[in-house]
Amino acid sequence: MHRIWAYLPNLFSPGGLIPGHARLAHYGYEPASGIAITAFSRFAFGCVLAAFCTQFTLAAEARLDGRLADSCATLPAPAGVKFAETPAWVESQTLPTYCRVAGTIAGRTRFEMRLPQQWSGRFMMAGCGGFCGALIPDKPGHSNTINEALKRGYAAISHDGGHEAKSWETHWSSNPEALELWAHKILPVVAGTGTELATSLYGREPSFRYFSGCSNGGRLGLHAAQRYPELFDGIAAGGSIFELSGIAGLWGNWLIHNNQSGLDSRIPQSRVPLIQQVVMNTCDALDGQADGIITDPRACRVDFTTATCDAGAPAGDNCLSGPEAQLLNTLYGGVKNGKGEVIYPAVAFGSEHYVDRWLFGADGKPAWGVLASAGYRQMLAMDLSEKDVPAGLPTDQMLDWISRSAVPTLTDATDTDLSGLREAGNKLLIYQGWSDPLIIPEPITHYYDKAADAAGGLKQLQENARLFMVPGWGHCWEIPADAPDRFDPLLELEQWVEGGRAPEYMLARQMDAAGVETRSRPICSYPSVAQLEVGKDPDNYKNYSCINEDRTVR
Protein backbone atom coordinates (compact mmCIF):
# COMPACT_ATOMS: atom_id res chain seq x y z
CA MET A 1 0.00 0.00 0.00
CA HIS A 2 1.29 3.44 -0.89
CA ARG A 3 1.66 5.92 1.91
CA ILE A 4 1.76 9.64 1.23
CA TRP A 5 4.36 10.37 3.83
CA ALA A 6 6.78 8.04 2.09
CA TYR A 7 6.96 10.48 -0.80
CA LEU A 8 7.23 13.69 1.15
CA PRO A 9 10.98 13.89 1.71
CA ASN A 10 11.50 13.56 -2.03
CA LEU A 11 8.94 16.16 -2.95
CA PHE A 12 9.76 18.90 -0.49
CA SER A 13 13.00 20.15 0.92
CA PRO A 14 13.32 21.86 4.30
CA GLY A 15 13.57 25.60 4.55
CA GLY A 16 11.46 28.68 3.97
CA LEU A 17 8.99 30.52 6.13
CA ILE A 18 5.26 30.49 6.32
CA PRO A 19 3.29 33.60 5.40
CA GLY A 20 1.32 34.60 8.46
CA HIS A 21 -1.81 36.24 7.05
CA ALA A 22 -5.26 35.13 8.10
CA ARG A 23 -6.50 32.62 5.57
CA LEU A 24 -10.08 32.16 6.52
CA ALA A 25 -12.86 34.57 5.79
CA HIS A 26 -16.61 34.39 5.92
CA TYR A 27 -18.01 32.05 3.28
CA GLY A 28 -14.86 31.09 1.50
CA TYR A 29 -11.16 30.75 1.71
CA GLU A 30 -8.78 33.39 0.56
CA PRO A 31 -6.60 32.38 -2.38
CA ALA A 32 -3.84 29.99 -1.40
CA SER A 33 -1.15 32.00 -3.16
CA GLY A 34 2.24 32.72 -1.67
CA ILE A 35 2.56 29.45 0.18
CA ALA A 36 6.05 28.41 1.14
CA ILE A 37 5.80 24.79 0.06
CA THR A 38 9.42 24.14 0.92
CA ALA A 39 8.57 24.37 4.59
CA PHE A 40 6.15 21.49 4.40
CA SER A 41 8.42 18.72 5.56
CA ARG A 42 9.43 20.75 8.59
CA PHE A 43 5.86 21.09 9.78
CA ALA A 44 3.99 18.22 8.23
CA PHE A 45 4.01 15.94 11.26
CA GLY A 46 4.31 18.45 14.03
CA CYS A 47 2.05 21.34 13.17
CA VAL A 48 1.87 23.59 16.17
CA LEU A 49 0.27 26.63 14.60
CA ALA A 50 -3.04 25.24 13.53
CA ALA A 51 -3.91 27.73 10.81
CA PHE A 52 -0.63 26.99 9.02
CA CYS A 53 -1.03 23.22 8.98
CA THR A 54 -4.24 23.29 7.02
CA GLN A 55 -2.84 25.41 4.24
CA PHE A 56 0.22 23.29 3.88
CA THR A 57 -1.87 20.18 3.67
CA LEU A 58 -4.05 21.69 0.98
CA ALA A 59 -1.09 22.77 -1.09
CA ALA A 60 0.99 19.66 -0.62
CA GLU A 61 -1.61 17.08 -1.31
CA ALA A 62 -2.72 18.78 -4.46
CA ARG A 63 0.67 17.61 -5.75
CA LEU A 64 0.07 14.03 -4.66
CA ASP A 65 -3.01 13.17 -6.68
CA GLY A 66 -1.26 10.57 -8.77
CA ARG A 67 0.33 8.86 -5.79
CA LEU A 68 -3.05 8.23 -4.20
CA ALA A 69 -4.49 6.62 -7.29
CA ASP A 70 -4.13 2.96 -6.39
CA SER A 71 -4.41 3.31 -2.61
CA CYS A 72 -8.21 3.56 -2.53
CA ALA A 73 -8.91 0.07 -3.93
CA THR A 74 -6.34 -1.51 -1.62
CA LEU A 75 -7.54 0.27 1.52
CA PRO A 76 -7.58 -2.26 4.37
CA ALA A 77 -10.81 -2.70 6.33
CA PRO A 78 -10.37 -1.71 9.99
CA ALA A 79 -11.02 -4.44 12.58
CA GLY A 80 -14.73 -5.25 12.76
CA VAL A 81 -15.49 -3.43 9.52
CA LYS A 82 -16.84 -5.22 6.48
CA PHE A 83 -16.80 -3.36 3.19
CA ALA A 84 -19.97 -3.60 1.11
CA GLU A 85 -17.80 -3.45 -2.00
CA THR A 86 -14.22 -2.66 -2.89
CA PRO A 87 -13.49 1.02 -2.23
CA ALA A 88 -13.15 2.98 -5.45
CA TRP A 89 -12.52 6.48 -6.70
CA VAL A 90 -15.67 8.30 -7.79
CA GLU A 91 -15.58 11.13 -10.30
CA SER A 92 -18.55 13.44 -10.23
CA GLN A 93 -19.84 16.57 -11.95
CA THR A 94 -20.74 18.20 -8.65
CA LEU A 95 -18.28 16.79 -6.13
CA PRO A 96 -14.50 16.59 -5.96
CA THR A 97 -13.02 13.23 -6.89
CA TYR A 98 -13.27 11.01 -3.83
CA CYS A 99 -12.55 7.52 -2.58
CA ARG A 100 -15.89 5.95 -1.68
CA VAL A 101 -15.82 3.51 1.20
CA ALA A 102 -19.09 1.87 2.22
CA GLY A 103 -19.66 -0.95 4.66
CA THR A 104 -20.81 -2.07 8.08
CA ILE A 105 -19.19 -1.64 11.48
CA ALA A 106 -19.53 -4.55 13.93
CA GLY A 107 -22.32 -6.04 11.84
CA ARG A 108 -24.70 -3.27 12.83
CA THR A 109 -23.80 0.25 11.72
CA ARG A 110 -23.92 1.00 8.01
CA PHE A 111 -21.66 3.82 6.91
CA GLU A 112 -20.39 5.59 3.82
CA MET A 113 -17.20 7.61 3.91
CA ARG A 114 -15.98 9.92 1.18
CA LEU A 115 -12.29 10.74 1.15
CA PRO A 116 -11.32 13.44 -1.34
CA GLN A 117 -8.33 13.11 -3.59
CA GLN A 118 -7.29 16.60 -2.54
CA TRP A 119 -7.51 16.39 1.21
CA SER A 120 -7.54 19.38 3.54
CA GLY A 121 -6.29 17.24 6.42
CA ARG A 122 -9.69 17.45 8.10
CA PHE A 123 -12.04 14.70 9.18
CA MET A 124 -15.75 15.13 9.84
CA MET A 125 -18.36 12.80 11.26
CA ALA A 126 -21.95 13.77 10.47
CA GLY A 127 -24.95 13.23 12.72
CA CYS A 128 -28.21 11.62 11.71
CA GLY A 129 -31.77 12.90 12.02
CA GLY A 130 -34.74 11.74 14.08
CA PHE A 131 -34.25 8.21 15.33
CA CYS A 132 -32.00 7.69 12.27
CA GLY A 133 -32.21 4.29 10.55
CA ALA A 134 -31.21 5.26 7.01
CA LEU A 135 -27.91 5.82 5.25
CA ILE A 136 -28.23 9.05 3.26
CA PRO A 137 -24.77 10.08 2.03
CA ASP A 138 -26.21 12.27 -0.73
CA LYS A 139 -28.65 14.17 1.45
CA PRO A 140 -28.35 17.79 0.26
CA GLY A 141 -27.58 20.83 2.38
CA HIS A 142 -25.92 21.18 5.76
CA SER A 143 -28.08 19.18 8.15
CA ASN A 144 -26.48 15.81 9.01
CA THR A 145 -24.81 15.71 5.60
CA ILE A 146 -21.31 15.15 4.26
CA ASN A 147 -21.13 16.53 0.72
CA GLU A 148 -20.75 20.21 1.66
CA ALA A 149 -17.78 19.26 3.82
CA LEU A 150 -16.43 17.02 1.05
CA LYS A 151 -16.52 19.97 -1.34
CA ARG A 152 -14.18 21.78 1.02
CA GLY A 153 -11.71 18.94 1.22
CA TYR A 154 -12.93 17.06 4.27
CA ALA A 155 -12.82 13.30 4.56
CA ALA A 156 -16.37 12.86 5.81
CA ILE A 157 -18.42 9.93 7.06
CA SER A 158 -22.17 9.39 7.30
CA HIS A 159 -23.95 6.52 9.05
CA ASP A 160 -27.40 5.14 9.86
CA GLY A 161 -27.26 5.38 13.67
CA GLY A 162 -26.76 1.63 14.03
CA HIS A 163 -30.12 0.26 12.87
CA GLU A 164 -32.49 0.22 9.90
CA ALA A 165 -35.92 1.85 10.29
CA LYS A 166 -38.00 4.90 9.39
CA SER A 167 -36.79 8.07 11.12
CA TRP A 168 -39.69 8.20 13.60
CA GLU A 169 -39.78 4.48 14.46
CA THR A 170 -38.32 3.07 17.67
CA HIS A 171 -39.15 -0.66 17.67
CA TRP A 172 -35.44 -1.39 17.19
CA SER A 173 -34.66 0.18 20.59
CA SER A 174 -35.92 -2.95 22.41
CA ASN A 175 -32.39 -4.22 21.70
CA PRO A 176 -30.23 -2.63 24.46
CA GLU A 177 -27.11 -2.68 22.29
CA ALA A 178 -28.91 -0.83 19.49
CA LEU A 179 -30.33 1.69 21.95
CA GLU A 180 -26.99 2.51 23.54
CA LEU A 181 -25.37 2.74 20.11
CA TRP A 182 -27.96 5.19 18.81
CA ALA A 183 -27.98 7.10 22.11
CA HIS A 184 -24.28 8.02 22.10
CA LYS A 185 -21.86 5.14 21.46
CA ILE A 186 -22.19 5.72 17.74
CA LEU A 187 -19.83 8.68 18.27
CA PRO A 188 -16.62 6.79 19.17
CA VAL A 189 -17.58 3.85 16.94
CA VAL A 190 -18.01 5.84 13.72
CA ALA A 191 -15.35 8.45 14.50
CA GLY A 192 -12.86 5.66 15.20
CA THR A 193 -13.57 3.90 11.92
CA GLY A 194 -13.48 7.14 9.96
CA THR A 195 -10.21 8.26 11.48
CA GLU A 196 -8.63 4.89 10.79
CA LEU A 197 -9.75 4.90 7.16
CA ALA A 198 -8.43 8.43 6.61
CA THR A 199 -5.13 7.54 8.24
CA SER A 200 -4.79 4.47 6.03
CA LEU A 201 -5.54 6.32 2.81
CA TYR A 202 -3.50 9.44 3.39
CA GLY A 203 -0.72 7.96 5.50
CA ARG A 204 -1.21 10.22 8.48
CA GLU A 205 -3.85 11.05 11.00
CA PRO A 206 -6.24 13.93 10.34
CA SER A 207 -4.95 17.29 11.53
CA PHE A 208 -8.40 18.25 12.77
CA ARG A 209 -11.40 16.16 13.71
CA TYR A 210 -14.92 17.58 13.61
CA PHE A 211 -18.45 16.52 14.33
CA SER A 212 -21.37 18.29 12.69
CA GLY A 213 -25.03 17.48 13.20
CA CYS A 214 -28.46 19.02 13.56
CA SER A 215 -31.65 17.89 15.32
CA ASN A 216 -30.79 14.40 16.62
CA GLY A 217 -27.33 15.14 15.23
CA GLY A 218 -27.28 18.15 17.55
CA ARG A 219 -28.11 15.84 20.43
CA LEU A 220 -25.13 13.70 19.47
CA GLY A 221 -22.99 16.84 19.35
CA LEU A 222 -23.87 17.66 22.95
CA HIS A 223 -23.13 14.05 23.94
CA ALA A 224 -19.76 14.36 22.22
CA ALA A 225 -18.97 17.46 24.31
CA GLN A 226 -20.14 15.86 27.55
CA ARG A 227 -19.17 12.18 27.25
CA TYR A 228 -16.35 12.19 24.72
CA PRO A 229 -14.75 15.64 25.02
CA GLU A 230 -11.43 14.52 23.52
CA LEU A 231 -12.93 12.88 20.44
CA PHE A 232 -13.33 16.01 18.28
CA ASP A 233 -11.38 19.27 18.03
CA GLY A 234 -14.61 20.99 17.08
CA ILE A 235 -18.28 20.12 17.48
CA ALA A 236 -21.14 21.88 15.65
CA ALA A 237 -24.46 21.01 17.29
CA GLY A 238 -27.62 22.53 15.80
CA GLY A 239 -31.36 22.35 16.55
CA SER A 240 -30.43 19.89 19.25
CA ILE A 241 -32.98 17.58 20.81
CA PHE A 242 -30.44 17.24 23.60
CA GLU A 243 -33.16 16.88 26.23
CA LEU A 244 -35.12 14.15 24.50
CA SER A 245 -37.25 13.39 27.56
CA GLY A 246 -38.34 17.02 27.78
CA ILE A 247 -38.71 18.03 24.14
CA ALA A 248 -40.08 14.78 22.66
CA GLY A 249 -41.42 13.52 25.99
CA LEU A 250 -43.04 16.38 27.89
CA TRP A 251 -43.62 18.92 25.11
CA GLY A 252 -44.41 16.37 22.40
CA ASN A 253 -46.83 14.59 24.71
CA TRP A 254 -48.45 17.91 25.67
CA LEU A 255 -49.02 18.66 22.01
CA ILE A 256 -50.45 15.24 21.23
CA HIS A 257 -52.54 14.98 24.40
CA ASN A 258 -54.20 18.34 23.74
CA ASN A 259 -54.22 18.70 19.99
CA GLN A 260 -54.50 15.27 18.41
CA SER A 261 -57.84 13.70 17.73
CA GLY A 262 -56.88 10.35 16.28
CA LEU A 263 -54.77 11.08 13.22
CA ASP A 264 -56.13 14.61 12.94
CA SER A 265 -55.07 17.88 14.52
CA ARG A 266 -57.75 19.81 16.35
CA ILE A 267 -56.18 22.97 14.90
CA PRO A 268 -56.88 22.78 11.16
CA GLN A 269 -53.95 23.37 8.83
CA SER A 270 -55.98 26.15 7.21
CA ARG A 271 -55.75 28.25 10.41
CA VAL A 272 -51.95 28.52 10.27
CA PRO A 273 -51.78 31.78 8.22
CA LEU A 274 -54.19 33.43 10.65
CA ILE A 275 -52.23 32.20 13.69
CA GLN A 276 -49.05 33.53 12.11
CA GLN A 277 -50.69 36.89 11.43
CA VAL A 278 -51.96 37.21 15.02
CA VAL A 279 -48.52 36.42 16.42
CA MET A 280 -46.70 38.79 14.07
CA ASN A 281 -49.16 41.63 14.71
CA THR A 282 -48.53 41.27 18.43
CA CYS A 283 -44.82 40.50 18.56
CA ASP A 284 -42.89 41.51 15.45
CA ALA A 285 -42.33 45.18 16.33
CA LEU A 286 -41.40 44.51 19.98
CA ASP A 287 -37.75 44.31 18.90
CA GLY A 288 -37.96 47.72 17.20
CA GLN A 289 -38.23 46.35 13.65
CA ALA A 290 -41.41 45.24 11.89
CA ASP A 291 -39.50 42.89 9.62
CA GLY A 292 -41.28 39.54 10.00
CA ILE A 293 -38.62 38.32 12.46
CA ILE A 294 -39.08 38.03 16.21
CA THR A 295 -35.66 38.62 17.73
CA ASP A 296 -36.51 36.94 21.04
CA PRO A 297 -39.90 35.21 21.42
CA ARG A 298 -39.52 35.18 25.20
CA ALA A 299 -40.42 38.86 25.13
CA CYS A 300 -43.74 38.08 23.44
CA ARG A 301 -47.13 37.15 24.88
CA VAL A 302 -50.18 36.44 22.73
CA ASP A 303 -53.71 35.82 23.94
CA PHE A 304 -55.43 34.06 21.07
CA THR A 305 -58.89 34.76 22.48
CA THR A 306 -58.43 38.29 21.10
CA ALA A 307 -58.78 36.70 17.64
CA THR A 308 -62.04 34.84 18.29
CA CYS A 309 -64.98 35.39 15.96
CA ASP A 310 -67.85 37.68 16.73
CA ALA A 311 -70.93 35.90 18.06
CA GLY A 312 -72.50 33.76 15.36
CA ALA A 313 -69.65 34.17 12.86
CA PRO A 314 -67.96 30.96 11.63
CA ALA A 315 -64.26 30.35 12.28
CA GLY A 316 -62.17 30.62 9.16
CA ASP A 317 -59.41 32.68 7.58
CA ASN A 318 -60.22 35.76 9.65
CA CYS A 319 -61.07 34.52 13.12
CA LEU A 320 -60.76 31.56 15.48
CA SER A 321 -63.49 29.62 17.22
CA GLY A 322 -63.52 29.89 21.02
CA PRO A 323 -62.20 26.32 21.51
CA GLU A 324 -59.45 26.88 18.90
CA ALA A 325 -58.29 30.04 20.68
CA GLN A 326 -58.29 28.29 24.06
CA LEU A 327 -56.38 25.34 22.62
CA LEU A 328 -53.72 27.62 21.10
CA ASN A 329 -53.33 29.37 24.46
CA THR A 330 -52.87 25.92 26.02
CA LEU A 331 -50.29 24.77 23.45
CA TYR A 332 -48.19 27.97 23.51
CA GLY A 333 -48.65 28.47 27.26
CA GLY A 334 -46.23 25.74 28.32
CA VAL A 335 -46.46 22.15 29.52
CA LYS A 336 -48.51 21.94 32.72
CA ASN A 337 -48.67 19.27 35.39
CA GLY A 338 -51.81 18.09 37.14
CA LYS A 339 -51.69 21.04 39.52
CA GLY A 340 -51.75 23.46 36.61
CA GLU A 341 -48.11 24.50 37.07
CA VAL A 342 -45.97 25.15 33.99
CA ILE A 343 -43.12 22.64 34.19
CA TYR A 344 -41.60 22.83 30.70
CA PRO A 345 -41.48 25.29 27.79
CA ALA A 346 -43.60 24.91 24.67
CA VAL A 347 -43.51 26.03 21.05
CA ALA A 348 -42.22 29.60 20.73
CA PHE A 349 -44.14 32.50 19.23
CA GLY A 350 -42.88 33.04 15.71
CA SER A 351 -42.60 29.30 14.94
CA GLU A 352 -45.67 29.25 12.70
CA HIS A 353 -43.79 29.00 9.41
CA TYR A 354 -44.32 25.38 8.30
CA VAL A 355 -45.78 24.54 11.71
CA ASP A 356 -48.40 22.49 9.89
CA ARG A 357 -45.73 20.15 8.54
CA TRP A 358 -43.97 19.65 11.86
CA LEU A 359 -46.79 19.81 14.43
CA PHE A 360 -50.30 19.97 13.02
CA GLY A 361 -50.23 17.65 10.03
CA ALA A 362 -52.82 17.72 7.28
CA ASP A 363 -55.30 15.55 5.39
CA GLY A 364 -55.42 12.80 8.00
CA LYS A 365 -51.63 12.49 8.10
CA PRO A 366 -49.98 13.25 11.43
CA ALA A 367 -47.07 15.69 11.35
CA TRP A 368 -43.55 14.28 11.61
CA GLY A 369 -43.14 15.71 15.10
CA VAL A 370 -46.26 13.89 16.26
CA LEU A 371 -45.01 10.60 14.81
CA ALA A 372 -41.57 11.00 16.38
CA SER A 373 -42.98 11.95 19.75
CA ALA A 374 -45.21 8.88 19.62
CA GLY A 375 -42.06 6.89 18.80
CA TYR A 376 -40.37 8.27 21.91
CA ARG A 377 -43.36 7.35 24.04
CA GLN A 378 -43.18 3.84 22.62
CA MET A 379 -39.48 3.71 23.49
CA LEU A 380 -40.30 4.47 27.13
CA ALA A 381 -43.23 2.05 27.15
CA MET A 382 -41.04 -0.82 25.88
CA ASP A 383 -38.44 -0.06 28.53
CA LEU A 384 -41.10 -0.06 31.26
CA SER A 385 -43.03 -3.01 29.80
CA GLU A 386 -46.12 -0.83 29.63
CA LYS A 387 -48.82 -2.52 27.59
CA ASP A 388 -51.24 0.37 27.27
CA VAL A 389 -49.78 3.19 25.16
CA PRO A 390 -52.48 5.78 24.50
CA ALA A 391 -51.95 8.55 21.97
CA GLY A 392 -51.28 11.11 24.67
CA LEU A 393 -50.70 10.83 28.39
CA PRO A 394 -51.50 13.22 31.22
CA THR A 395 -48.29 15.13 32.02
CA ASP A 396 -48.01 13.59 35.48
CA GLN A 397 -48.05 10.10 33.97
CA MET A 398 -45.41 11.08 31.44
CA LEU A 399 -43.26 12.48 34.26
CA ASP A 400 -43.65 9.15 36.05
CA TRP A 401 -42.58 7.20 32.97
CA ILE A 402 -39.57 9.46 32.45
CA SER A 403 -38.48 9.15 36.07
CA ARG A 404 -38.79 5.34 36.12
CA SER A 405 -37.25 4.59 32.72
CA ALA A 406 -33.53 4.05 32.16
CA VAL A 407 -33.83 5.56 28.67
CA PRO A 408 -33.32 9.27 29.57
CA THR A 409 -30.00 8.54 31.29
CA LEU A 410 -28.77 7.05 28.03
CA THR A 411 -30.27 9.50 25.58
CA ASP A 412 -30.43 12.94 27.22
CA ALA A 413 -27.32 15.08 26.81
CA THR A 414 -27.99 17.40 29.73
CA ASP A 415 -24.77 17.26 31.75
CA THR A 416 -23.81 20.90 32.36
CA ASP A 417 -20.24 20.02 33.32
CA LEU A 418 -18.18 20.84 30.22
CA SER A 419 -14.84 20.82 32.06
CA GLY A 420 -13.66 17.87 29.95
CA LEU A 421 -14.02 19.98 26.81
CA ARG A 422 -12.17 22.81 28.50
CA GLU A 423 -9.33 20.55 29.61
CA ALA A 424 -9.04 19.10 26.10
CA GLY A 425 -9.04 22.60 24.60
CA ASN A 426 -11.80 21.60 22.18
CA LYS A 427 -14.67 23.76 20.94
CA LEU A 428 -18.44 23.40 20.93
CA LEU A 429 -20.57 25.60 18.67
CA ILE A 430 -24.28 25.27 19.44
CA TYR A 431 -26.89 26.89 17.19
CA GLN A 432 -30.65 26.88 17.44
CA GLY A 433 -33.52 28.54 15.58
CA TRP A 434 -35.70 30.78 17.74
CA SER A 435 -38.55 29.83 15.38
CA ASP A 436 -38.00 26.06 15.37
CA PRO A 437 -41.42 24.43 15.89
CA LEU A 438 -39.98 20.93 16.22
CA ILE A 439 -37.07 21.44 18.59
CA ILE A 440 -38.53 24.10 20.85
CA PRO A 441 -35.83 26.71 21.49
CA GLU A 442 -35.99 27.61 25.17
CA PRO A 443 -34.49 24.44 26.69
CA ILE A 444 -31.07 24.98 25.09
CA THR A 445 -30.88 28.50 26.57
CA HIS A 446 -31.65 27.04 30.00
CA TYR A 447 -28.96 24.41 29.49
CA TYR A 448 -26.42 27.00 28.41
CA ASP A 449 -27.19 29.26 31.36
CA LYS A 450 -26.68 26.34 33.75
CA ALA A 451 -23.47 25.32 31.96
CA ALA A 452 -22.21 28.89 32.43
CA ASP A 453 -22.86 28.63 36.17
CA ALA A 454 -21.11 25.25 36.27
CA ALA A 455 -18.11 26.69 34.41
CA GLY A 456 -17.76 29.54 36.89
CA GLY A 457 -19.29 32.15 34.62
CA LEU A 458 -20.30 32.97 31.07
CA LYS A 459 -16.85 34.21 30.10
CA GLN A 460 -15.21 30.95 31.12
CA LEU A 461 -17.81 28.87 29.28
CA GLN A 462 -17.52 30.96 26.12
CA GLU A 463 -13.86 30.07 25.79
CA ASN A 464 -14.89 26.56 24.71
CA ALA A 465 -18.64 26.56 24.16
CA ARG A 466 -20.78 29.16 22.40
CA LEU A 467 -24.48 29.28 21.65
CA PHE A 468 -26.07 31.08 18.72
CA MET A 469 -29.83 31.64 18.82
CA VAL A 470 -30.98 32.42 15.28
CA PRO A 471 -34.01 34.77 15.11
CA GLY A 472 -36.67 33.64 12.66
CA TRP A 473 -34.93 30.38 11.81
CA GLY A 474 -36.88 27.13 11.84
CA HIS A 475 -35.80 23.52 12.07
CA CYS A 476 -32.28 22.88 10.79
CA TRP A 477 -32.17 23.24 7.02
CA GLU A 478 -34.96 20.91 6.08
CA ILE A 479 -37.66 23.56 6.10
CA PRO A 480 -35.99 26.95 5.63
CA ALA A 481 -37.55 29.97 7.26
CA ASP A 482 -38.45 33.34 5.82
CA ALA A 483 -35.46 34.92 7.52
CA PRO A 484 -31.68 35.14 7.08
CA ASP A 485 -30.86 31.48 7.65
CA ARG A 486 -27.95 30.71 5.35
CA PHE A 487 -24.89 30.26 7.48
CA ASP A 488 -22.17 27.67 7.76
CA PRO A 489 -21.51 26.56 11.33
CA LEU A 490 -18.71 24.24 10.25
CA LEU A 491 -16.81 27.10 8.66
CA GLU A 492 -17.30 29.26 11.74
CA LEU A 493 -16.07 26.37 13.86
CA GLU A 494 -12.98 25.90 11.69
CA GLN A 495 -11.98 29.49 12.21
CA TRP A 496 -12.34 29.05 15.94
CA VAL A 497 -10.52 25.70 16.17
CA GLU A 498 -7.77 26.35 13.64
CA GLY A 499 -7.47 30.12 13.67
CA GLY A 500 -8.10 30.63 17.37
CA ARG A 501 -10.81 33.21 16.75
CA ALA A 502 -13.88 32.67 18.90
CA PRO A 503 -16.94 33.75 16.91
CA GLU A 504 -18.65 36.81 18.37
CA TYR A 505 -21.30 36.37 15.69
CA MET A 506 -22.18 34.19 12.73
CA LEU A 507 -23.09 35.86 9.47
CA ALA A 508 -26.50 34.75 8.16
CA ARG A 509 -27.88 35.62 4.74
CA GLN A 510 -31.26 35.38 3.06
CA MET A 511 -31.59 34.82 -0.67
CA ASP A 512 -34.51 35.24 -3.05
CA ALA A 513 -35.63 32.57 -5.52
CA ALA A 514 -32.97 33.67 -7.98
CA GLY A 515 -30.24 33.27 -5.38
CA VAL A 516 -29.74 37.01 -4.92
CA GLU A 517 -29.05 38.14 -1.37
CA THR A 518 -31.97 40.12 0.04
CA ARG A 519 -30.79 40.68 3.59
CA SER A 520 -28.12 39.66 6.07
CA ARG A 521 -27.84 39.66 9.84
CA PRO A 522 -25.24 38.92 12.45
CA ILE A 523 -26.26 36.04 14.72
CA CYS A 524 -24.68 37.08 17.98
CA SER A 525 -23.05 34.81 20.51
CA TYR A 526 -25.72 34.24 23.18
CA PRO A 527 -26.79 36.02 25.30
CA SER A 528 -25.85 38.99 23.09
CA VAL A 529 -28.41 40.12 20.52
CA ALA A 530 -28.03 42.11 17.31
CA GLN A 531 -29.02 45.75 17.64
CA LEU A 532 -29.44 47.97 14.58
CA GLU A 533 -27.64 51.29 14.58
CA VAL A 534 -30.11 54.13 14.43
CA GLY A 535 -31.06 55.17 10.91
CA LYS A 536 -29.05 52.46 9.18
CA ASP A 537 -30.16 49.91 6.55
CA PRO A 538 -31.65 46.95 8.47
CA ASP A 539 -30.89 44.49 5.68
CA ASN A 540 -27.09 44.73 5.99
CA TYR A 541 -25.38 42.87 8.81
CA LYS A 542 -22.67 45.51 9.02
CA ASN A 543 -25.16 47.96 10.51
CA TYR A 544 -25.70 45.91 13.66
CA SER A 545 -23.85 45.58 16.94
CA CYS A 546 -23.95 42.59 19.27
CA ILE A 547 -25.28 43.89 22.56
CA ASN A 548 -24.90 41.84 25.71
CA GLU A 549 -28.20 41.89 27.53
CA ASP A 550 -28.89 40.57 30.98
CA ARG A 551 -29.71 36.94 30.20
CA THR A 552 -32.35 36.84 32.90
CA VAL A 553 -34.43 39.51 31.14
CA ARG A 554 -37.64 38.04 29.76
CB of 280 to Ca ion, least distance (A): 8
Query: CB 288 → Ca ion: shortest distance, Å?
Result: 7
How far apart (Å, rounded) are the C-alpha atoms in residues 149 and 137?
A: 12
Instruction: Kindly state the smallest distance separating residue 45's Cβ from Ca ion, in Å.
Output: 52
Q: Using the rule CB under 5 A, give the single segment among 34-42, 105-113, 279-287, 355-363 that binds Ca ion.
A: 279-287
Of 157 and 483, the one with the shorter C-beta distance to Ca ion is: 483
**Shortest CB 137 distance to Ca ion, Å:** 39
Instruction: Report the b/e string of 293-327 with b at 16+ CB within 10 A.
Output: bbbbbbebebebeebbbeeeeebeeebbeeebbeb
Closer to Ca ion by CB, 284 or 352: give it. Answer: 284
* Nearest residue (CB) to Ca ion, 287 versus 352: 287
In single-letter form, the type of residue at position 281 comes to N
Rank residues 311 and 534 by Cβ distance to Ca ion and give the closer one: 534
Instruction: State the binding string over 230-269 for Ca ion (x if CB under 5 A, else -).
Output: ----------------------------------------
Please state the closest distance from residue 289 (CB atom) to Ca ion, in A. 4
- CA 113, CA 126: separation in Å to the nearest integer? 10
112 or 284: CB nearest Ca ion: 284
| Residue 426 near residue 235, CB atoms below 8 Å | yes
Binding mask 283-322 for Ca ion (x = CB under 5 A): -x--x-x-x-x-----------------------------
Q: How far apart, in Å, are the Cα atoms of 116 and each of 43, 102, 203?
A: 22, 14, 14
Spell out the SS3 assignment of 167-192.
Answer: CCCCHHHHCHHHHHHHHHHHHHHHHH
Supply the DSSP symbol for 137.
T
3-state class percentages of the chain: helix first, strand second, coil last, to nearest 5: 40, 20, 45
List, as one string, the DSSP characters of 390-445: -SS--HHHHHHHHHH-SHHHHH-------HHHHHHT-EEEEEEETT-SSS-SHHHH
Tell me if residue 525 falls in helix, strand or coil. strand
**Of residues 291 and 492, the one with the C-beta less far from Ca ion:** 291
CA-closest candidate to residue 141, choices 435, 488, 470? 488
Give the distance from CA 284 to its chain's centroid: 26
**Stretch in the footprint of Ca ion (CB under 5 A) among 67-75, 261-269, 282-290, 499-507:** 282-290
Q: For Ca ion, give the closer residue by CB, 80 or 538.
A: 538
Which range of residues in 52-60, 230-238, 277-285, 513-521 is near Ca ion by CB under 5 A?
A: 277-285
Note the residues at the interface with Ca ion (CB under 5 A): 284, 287, 289, 291, 293
